[in-house]
Amino acid sequence: RRERHRTMTGTRTVIPREIEAMRRALELAASPGVPLDPNPRVGCVLLSPDGEVVGEGFHHGAGTPHAEVEALRVAGDAARGATAVVTLEPCDHTGRTGPCSRALLDAGVARVVHAQSDPNPVAAGGAARLAAAGVEVVGGVLAAQAEALNPHWTFSVTHGRPFVLWKSASTLDGRVAAADGTSRWITSAASRAEVHDLRASVDAVVVGLGTVLEDDPHLAVRRDGAVLPREQQPLRVVVGRRDVPEGARVLDGAAETLQIRVHDPEAVLAELHRREVRSVLLEGGPTLVAAFVRAGLVDAVRWYVAPALLGAGPSALGDAGMSTIAEALRLSVVDVVRVGDDVRIDARAIRAHEEE
């Protein structure tokens, strides 16, 4: 069975052996223990002209060799005339390391089969460079699987800002605290434990200064009661002009903390993008979240609903500039799950251009 895939230069055929190698490259890219960092997960398999695997490699994180370079090192002379099967279009730039396009050419690789095209404007162009040098290039093979390995990275290099996930927890009647301000333990222990995994899955956790002043949150990731090591913690970000009070728990050194002294969400995200933050978890409060919603900068929502009623008390979202039902921010539900006694809802924002 021969599968056809679109390339930059028309349609070319990919042999089953190459698809199999791409599956292996995807597996390599997803190797456990690879830290989530500013760079994508990438895997590479080198096939000799008769289809033997002569080298394998994957990227271990920013500053280390790219997947292709790893595989070329393993293959040595066997790379001459080989086919490189790689989950991301080879890069064409000198960043923390050199261009993979050049490394593949120098090694005498004859053919490149890649999955996702590199959406990073800084690094892209490898396919064109290789094709211009006479290498056969086929792109788009299992591209959706490759993209799914790096959703936040793909989003952020495509949009020039981090992916924004807003997390909240409320009673069934939408209260995030009681009228007297008490808000601890609205949701069950199971939901609260999950929030730590959610934090561990992003590069930064963002709150407004008001939330720091009112709730004094720690914002560090804990597992089984123990705070994870500092280098595994997402960046804690406090947005607001006034100083964070001395003794606030976010200043305790368990994780790095950054204060951004502007209110404009665009400026906040621009600063985080500059620091190569690919994803942020927005954890309140209502004023900061309202500013993000107003600016169209909430991409997804994770909500825990506790089966409780309060009847009074604040809601999760402040005035986001919507005064009539037609202006509501509409979400599309991705997943609904029971967690302990609570219901967890995952939804993503529907952008104007996605509506019929």
User: What value, to the nearest 5°, has the Cα angle with vertex 203 and ends 202 and 207?
Assistant: 85
Q: Closest distance between ligand AOF and the C-beta of residue 88, in Å?
A: 5
Specify the pairing of strand 342-349 against strand 257-260.
unpaired
Residue 36 near ligand AOF by CB under 6 A: no
Among 91, 207, 209, 255, binds ligand AOF (CB under 6 A): 91
Q: Tokens 């409060």 — which residue? A: 285
For the chain, where are the alpha helices, taking DSSP H only? 16-29, 67-75, 100-106, 126-132, 143-149, 151-159, 189-200, 209-215, 265-274, 286-294
80-99 positions binding Zn ion, by CB under 5 A = 91
| Residue 59 contact partner, candidates ligand AOF, Zn ion, none, CB within 5 to 8 A by sort of partner | ligand AOF
Binding span for ligand AOF by CB under 6 A among 115-123, 132-140, 188-196, 329-337: 115-123
Site string for ligand AOF, 51-80 (x = CB under 6 A): --------x--x---xxx------------
Region for 10 from its dihedrals, namely left if φ exceeds 0, alpha if ψ lies in -120 to 50, beta otherwise = left
| Residue 250 contact partner, candidates Zn ion, ligand AOF, none, CB within 5 to 8 A by sort of partner | none
Q: Closest distance between ligand AOF and the C-beta of residue 181, in Å?
A: 44
As a whole number of angstroms, the distance between CA 49 and CA 222 comes to 50
As a whole number of angstroms, the distance between CA 227 and CA 220 comes to 7
Residue 96 near ligand AOF by CB under 6 A: yes
Among 25, 26, 28, 42, binds ligand AOF (CB under 6 A): 42
User: What value, to the nearest 5°, has the Cα angle with vertex 149 and ends 234 and 152?
Assistant: 45
As a whole number of angstroms, the distance between CA 280 and CA 294 comes to 17
Query: Count of residues binding ligand AOF (CB under 6 A)?
Result: 18
Q: Give strand pairing partners of 260.
A: 239
Residue 45 near ligand AOF by CB under 6 A: no
Among 79, 100, 272, 289, binds Zn ion (CB under 5 A): 100
What does DSSP assign to residue 166?
E
Among 66, 114, 175, 192, binds Zn ion (CB under 5 A): 66
As a whole number of angstroms, the distance between CA 85 and CA 23 comes to 10
Residue 279 near ligand AOF by CB under 6 A: no
**Bond from prior residue into 240 cis (ω within 30 degrees of 0):** no
Rounded alpha-carbon distances, angstroms, from residue 205 to 80, 218, 256: 46, 11, 11
| Residue 34 contact partner, candidates ligand AOF, Zn ion, none, CB within 5 to 8 A by sort of partner | none
Binding span for ligand AOF by CB under 6 A among 94-102, 134-142, 159-167, 179-187: 94-102
Of the residues 18, 68, 147, 283, only one is catalytic, namely 68
Among 95, 125, 217, 340, binds ligand AOF (CB under 6 A): 95
| Residue 269 contact partner, candidates Zn ion, ligand AOF, none, CB within 5 to 8 A by sort of partner | none
- CB 170, CB 145: distance < 8 Å: no
The catalytic site residues sit at: 68
By the criterion CB under 6 A, which residues form the site for ligand AOF? 39-40, 42, 59, 62, 66-68, 88, 90-91, 95-97, 100, 118, 120, 123
By the criterion CB under 5 A, which residues form the site for Zn ion? 66, 91, 100
